[in-house]
Structure 1
């Protein structure tokens, strides 16, 4: 979600406007008991802020250096009677994050390659609305450690870096990659033995794989390896006896089709 100007103002995200209404409506839709074991990642929302006018940053553009940009992935646990709402920050700016025909300039074309740090005032407002800001890619929920990366953050290894920095290198049970033009093998897959990696990609297709070995984690070993004979990729271990990751399996109605005979 970008809004008509290329980004919403940071203030708009928590005002009683369209975004908050959409969030509450969606939360009501998934509050039924049958969604109790579902985790919903609802794309991302792009926001901007100007020190001159927090509500209308697009009216004060004298070079992109005066504008701060943010990108969040809204995450909700389904089911009733809980407050599991999260905003997961994205760190690295992708060109595809922005449209060039809007009021706000595309920051990646102006040398801005990282999103800004979230101000404390915004973090406090989120807490008042029972929403947790996740800045280290890790959600701990129902005795599971879930790692979530948005697009380019996966290629940069943001989850693995934060696990080393904040969690003593302890791995996640599930890794989620939400993207538009990313692949599982593009970055580290720091999941525990028998942990699962899911990729949901709006620009390609969805895929998943499971770690099958019990050795020490090696960040250079990923779920998929570059394919041969023109193939995009192949399941790791497909041609040898290592079997560190399983072949792909269907999730929902999407499958990453890897045809070794093609």
Structure 2
């Protein structure tokens, strides 16, 4: 494989229902603000942070041989209020387009971005009944394509009690979005020889990857209120980013588990809030808790 190292970055922001404000009067502008926030995070790391890392020993890993992974939490795109959902045929498609175009520049070709999840709804064939979706958007930097993963197990935090949990892949045929995707349910997918598994919150608790007999080099979890479930981890490296501040385990965790035992890695704060547009970062912040951009140490594969 061309990559010899992995480095994980967590875009840590509260996404619980009570902390989901209006970022703009226009729903698409609110989505675009969140996408721009993620793109800015990657660009800050790419252009500034890496040059200031203090490496142990005399040599530092080659940047081009390091796969950078940026993960945002579950519910990163959801209208304010419990039960809020974007239109599947409108804002959902717009979010996917904005995600792959925002990360499409070649300088990010060594990046993988799990850009959080979006809550959306679409009209079913039954009058006055809606189908709900909770979908993770996964982008390979420098490529105009996305992978989309639908959450299989719905929790109360999804706010979809009034919706039918939809057949996501069938619904894709109704909108012109499939052209932007490499696949719809990769579960474990390959990035230049690195096998990466992705789960959304309750799916991790339910062992979706483990029950399919999947294995990977790294296991990624985007969540809102779900600690790492060790019996369901399918890789020696596990990285979780969570949108629930009250969760005891914290907002971002990266651990290595091998024959030598379990080792938790500490993260460094990246100077993000002062470098992003002040009026936008103010809207993103909750209860005076600033967005935390967490940088974990580089790990050799």
Normalising by structure 2, we get a TM-score of 0.54
Offset at residue 119 of structure 1 (A): 4.6
Q: Aligned runs of 1:10-159 on 2, under 5 Å? A: 10-12=88-90, 18-52=91-125, 60-61=127-128, 66-79=129-142, 82-98=143-159, 106-107=160-161, 115-120=165-170, 122-123=172-173, 125=175, 128-135=178-185, 137-159=187-209
Offset of 1:211 from its aligned partner?
2.3
Give RMSD over aligned pairs.
Answer: 3.0
Is structure 2 residue 241 aligned with structure 1 residue 197? no
Pairwise mapping of residues 207-226 of structure 1 onto structure 2 (< 5 A)? 207-213=253-259
Deviation at 1:128, TM superposition (A): 4.3
With a CA cutoff of 8 Å and minimum separation of 6, indicate the structure with the bigger relative contact order: 2
The answer to which structure has the higher helix fraction is: 2
Secondary structure at 2:229 match in 1: helix
Contact kept, 8 Å, 2:210 with 2:234, in 1: the verdict is yes
Corresponding residue SS for 1:45: strand
- Contact kept in structure 2, 1:88 and 1:135, CA below 8 Å: yes
Is the partner of 1:75 in helix, strand or coil? Answer: strand
Residues 5-34 of structure 1: per-residue CA shift (max 9 Å, x gap):
72233322xxxxx54444434433322333
Question: What displacement does 1:118 show?
Answer: 2.1
Q: What corresponds to 1:7 in structure 2?
A: 85
In structure 2, runs of 5+ residues without a counterpart are 1-76, 246-250, 270-292, 297-301
Higher strand share: 2
Counterpart-to-counterpart distance in 1, 2:230 and 2:85: 27
**Residue by residue, what CA displacement relative to the aligned partner does 1:95-149 show, whole Å, maximum 9, x if unpaired?**
1122xxxxxxx41xx6x8x833225351585674231343352222211211101
Tell me, what secondary structure is at the counterpart of 1:246?
strand
Bigger CA radius of gyration: 1
Structure 2 CA distance for aligned equivalents of residues 119 and 88 of structure 1: 10
**Other structure's SS at 2:107 match:** helix
Aligned residues of 2:224 and 2:243 also touching (Cα < 8 A): yes
| Structure-2 change in CA distance of 1:69 and 1:24 (3 Å) | closer
Deviation at 1:78, TM superposition (A): 1.0
Match of 2:33 in 1: none
Whether the 8 Å contact between 2:147 and 2:185 is mirrored in structure 1 is: no
Residues 49 and 68, structure 1, Cα contact 8 Å, conserved in 2: yes
